[in-house]
Amino acid sequence: MKRIALFCVLLITCCPVFAQNYDEAKVPHYTLPDVLKTSSGKVIRNEEKWEKLRRPEVLKLFEDHVYGQMPTDYDSIRYALTEDDRPEMDGKAVLKQVGVTVFRKGNSVQINVVLFVPTQAKKPVPVFLLINNRGKENTDPTRAKKSEFWPAEMLIDSGFAIAAFHVSDLAPDDKDTYATGVLQKLYPEQLKKDNGMKAIGAWAWGASRVMDYFETDRDIDSKKVIVVGHSRGGKTSLWAAAQDRRFAACVTNCSGNTGAALARRQFGERITRINTTFPHWFNNNYKKYNDKENALPVDQHMLIALVAPRPVYATNASKDLWADPKGTFLALKAAEPVYALYNIKSGLPKDPPGIDKPVIGSHFGYHNREGEHNMTAYDWGNFIRFARKF
């Protein structure tokens, strides 16, 4: 018994303990960084100064302290259709499977894209692009398995194309093997930098390469591509939209910490927990802010602001306090001043809406769905309604 007790003591001592707060009364007082004030103290008062001075500064702060650099150079890119215009869904859609291969310095990485396009379209159609961080069966091109996580039939019936790629094509979601994809093969120098790209940066980079393909596909309106992600994929969709302004809109679903939720609230998942459990997601510099959220030069309202003036839809689920529903809504509200520079009113209410009461008619969309951490047909139905506004 003594040995068992000693073992338990050692186990508790060796394992990190993360105190997570789910009580609004225990949220500490915090002050958000002013998204409209430069590092030198200059106040930004118009769109031109935001674009010229503050936006590049905020983007670099996120690169240096959170997500890592986003390399843009490569030698060439090629597209190979392995399936082209195959009728599916009782003739309502055609299937395209595309290999997007990127070459740099003698090495290459292939991103495998599944794309369904409605057959009744009279012109190029808008498309939802999912950054799939769950099993590949969720985006099954054969449709033998259908998932609410990627309800292709619903999107086709609504007149949208729907596409997906899997994060493992860029960087396996594993702390030991994440570098075996795009990082080791194309950008090994990033692994040596404290502000170098890691897994989430690699996934966002991949979304941009799929966008490159969309610009060549006559069936797709490349001016109307909505990038979508859930959870860690939702962190990625925001970063992809911030970096690549070709994305027309961004959907970030239950993305929580280092996604759409404010870090300084210290509610639900915190920086220490995410950096300890998933050390491969963000750059090395981000570890400096473990238990030091207030020392960060940014917070997530500033990431949302980088998407301006394009629409952003953020979601939560009632039982997913880990992702801080209130902190997500407050981040959207705190990004409103940047949208105002473009003469855009968000349309969000003063306070978070009730459960299953989506805000659709604004440049910011938001809902807090009843249920668990997931992406469902209810979520997608609201994404469709939101996209039709724009």
pLDDT in tens, 331-377: 999 999 999 999 999 999 999 999 999 999 789 999 999 999 999 99
Bridge partners of 261, per DSSP, are 257
> What pLDDT shows up at residue 285?
98
Residue 384 has pLDDT above 70, yes or no: yes
Asked if pLDDT for residue 69 goes beyond 60, the answer is: yes
Amino acid identity for residue 32 in this structure? L
What was the pLDDT predicted at 15?
42
More confident residue, 361 or 52: 52
Helices (H), the chain: 2-14, 47-49, 55-62, 152-157, 182-185, 199-214, 232-243, 271-277, 300-305, 325-341, 377-388
- Using DSSP's 3-state secondary structure scheme, residue 283 falls into coil
Q: Residue 207: how many CA atoms within 13 Å on its side-chain side?
A: 36
Task: Judge contact between 269 and 19, C-beta under 8 A.
Answer: no
Per-residue pLDDT, 84: 84
Is residue 321's pLDDT more than 50?
yes
Cis previous bond, 124, omega within 30: no
- The DSSP call for residue 261 is B
Task: Report domain extents, the chain.
Answer: 24-388
Please say if the pLDDT value at position 124 is more than 70: yes
What rounded mean pLDDT belongs to the chain?
94
The per-residue pLDDT for 9 is 36
User: Strands, DSSP E only, in the chain?
Assistant: 76-88, 93-104, 107-118, 125-132, 161-166, 220-230, 249-253, 312-317, 364-369
Catalytically annotated residue among 231, 237, 346, 362 = 231
Q: Which CATH class is domain 24-388?
A: alpha beta
pLDDT tens column, 197-224: 999 999 999 999 999 999 999 999 999 9
On the 0-12 / 13-18 / 19+ scale of CB atoms within 10 A, 9 is exposed
Reply yes or no on whether 231 is catalytic.
yes
Do residues 207 and 195 touch, judged by C-beta distance below 8 A? no
CA-CA distance, 351 to 356, in Å (whole number)? 14
Instruction: Name every residue whose Cβ is closer than 8 Å to that of residue 30 and which is 6 or more positions away in sequence.
Output: 262, 264, 265, 266, 293, 294
Q: How far apart are CA 249 and CA 363, in angstroms?
A: 10
Average pLDDT on 274-291 reads 98
pLDDT at site 362: 80
Average pLDDT over residues 233-247: 98
373 a catalytic residue: yes
Query: CA-to-CA distance for 142 and 89, rounded, in angstroms?
Result: 10
Quick one: pLDDT at residue 17? 54
- pLDDT score at 83: 82
First to last CA, the chain: 66
pLDDT digits (tens, 9 = 90+) for 172-197: 999 999 999 999 999 999 999 999 99
Which pLDDT belongs to residue 121? 85
Q: Is the pLDDT of residue 1 over 80?
A: no
**pTM score, whole prediction:** 0.95
pLDDT confidence band for 6 (50 / 70 / 90): very low
Q: Calculate what percentage of the chain has a pLDDT beyond 70.
A: 95
pLDDT at residue number 16: 52
Contact 312, 250 (CB under 8 A): yes
* Per-residue pLDDT tens digits for 241-274: 999 999 999 999 999 999 999 999 999 999 999 9
CA-to-CA distance for 131 and 204, rounded, in angstroms?
8
